[in-house]
Amino acid sequence: SGTGSPRWGFTLPLEGVSLAEHRAVVIEAERDGYTDAWTLEVDGADCFTPLALVAAWTERMRIGTAIANVYTRTPAVLAMTAAALAEAAPGRFVLGLGSSSPVIVQDWSGIPFEAPLAQTRDATLIVRELLGGKRVTQETERLQIHGLRLSRPPASPVPIHLAALRPGMLRQAGRLGDGVIINWLAPGDVPKVVKVARSGSEAAGKNPDALEVACRIFVCVTDDIDAARTRARREIAAYLTTPVYEAFHVWLGRGEALRPMTEAWRAGDRRGALALIPDEVIDDLLVIGTAEQCRKRINEYVANGVTTPVMHFFPIGAPESMGQGSIAALRALAPARA
């Protein structure tokens, strides 16, 4: 297929493309060899609705959430939604769960962002029991559920993947999950992260090599490296100034390189912060270049332990051309075109 991985995924919805317009795009993507479509959930579409559409439009494509938030939906609602998608796309739905961020949980949803490790653990265990068709009564330090059994549990087990950045959550993903979801890291960071996640699998008596590693990779297919770096600076500043990602990159050894940006951002100098992001960091964390260069770089992630690359295309140019840019990038990196 010209890809270093048997799986080759992308992020939905594509920027600049309406959900209704995705039908033709997704059908073409499946025909061109994409195996996976994964959603995200920030401040646009929710993570489940686009997958229901893809389930109906495709025959083989695997669909997954990266991620559904364990604070803003109860385990009962997560399990019912997952069961519905598993029923709509038998054997090809993956439930990706994660603790999200203080902004989404606390600022936007009014829920205290407390004990993310425990919240993720408790939600995962309860959701798995519910999806297994059991009647569940549990009171944990974080969650309570009394006497619920799903009337339409999935016919076969639904894989659960957990989003993780640092060692505690990575080990928990290995221990409790069928896979781990990682993002905002360079190919060279992958072995360190995967090793910790697999140690969690090993500790739980599971085969560490069976742990799937899905990685969201930010990709810009372009010849205009400077314009792509300008857009990349905004993406980096938006994410890596948040406490969870800042701590993640300190652990990965990028703390010193990012400190000037973080300090300027905290001081309210947003423009100055963007200028202080080194080009090396941009080129490390994002994939920018021609289709051939991008494909080669994505395959470096795969060579280092990623089993499911999930490309998140960020087009550049005028707002009205974003949709065309997204679709062009999706086509350019399709396995069939390698």
CB 111 within 8 A of CB 105: yes
Neighbour count for residue 210 (Cβ, 10 Å): 10
- Give the tens place of pLDDT for each residue, 138-151: 999 999 999 999 99
Mean pLDDT of 23-47: 98
Q: Is the pLDDT of residue 3 over 90?
A: no
For a pLDDT cut of 90, what percent of the chain falls above it? 98
Residues in contact with 210: Cβ distance below 8 Å, sequence separation at least 6, in sequence order: 201
Q: Which residue has the tokens 């979801």?
A: 181
- Residues 187 and 94: their CA atoms lie apart, in Å, by 24
Per-residue confidence band for 2, with pLDDT thresholds at 50, 70 and 90? low
- Residues 307 and 297: their CA atoms lie apart, in Å, by 14
Mean pLDDT of 24-47: 98
Per-residue confidence band for 4, with pLDDT thresholds at 50, 70 and 90? confident
Q: What is the pLDDT of residue 1?
A: 43
- Residues 108 and 312: their CA atoms lie apart, in Å, by 24
Predicted TM-score (pTM) above 0.85: yes
Q: What is the pLDDT of residue 119?
A: 98
Evaluate the omega torsion of the peptide bond into residue 225 and state whether it is cis, within 30 degrees of 0.
no
3-state secondary structure 189-203: HHHHHHHHHHHHHHH
- Give the tens place of pLDDT for each residue, 176-207: 999 999 999 999 999 999 999 999 999 999 99
Per-residue confidence band for 338, with pLDDT thresholds at 50, 70 and 90? confident
Q: Is the pLDDT of residue 132 over 80?
A: yes
Q: Which residues pair with 214 in a beta bridge?
A: 181, 308
- Give the tens place of pLDDT for each residue, 43-54: 999 999 999 999
Mean pLDDT of 143-171: 98
Give the 3-state secondary structure of residue 285. helix
Query: How far, CA to CA in Å, does 108 sit from each of 65, 68, 119?
Result: 20, 15, 18
Q: Is the pLDDT of residue 164 over 60?
A: yes
For a pLDDT cut of 70, what percent of the chain falls above it? 99
Q: Is the pLDDT of residue 79 over 90?
A: yes
Complete DSSP assignment for 217-245: EEEEE-S-HHHHHHHHHHHHHHHHTSHHH
Longest Cα pair distance anywhere in the chain, in angstroms? 58
**What is the pLDDT of the chain when averaged over all its residues?**
97
Mean pLDDT of 215-242: 96
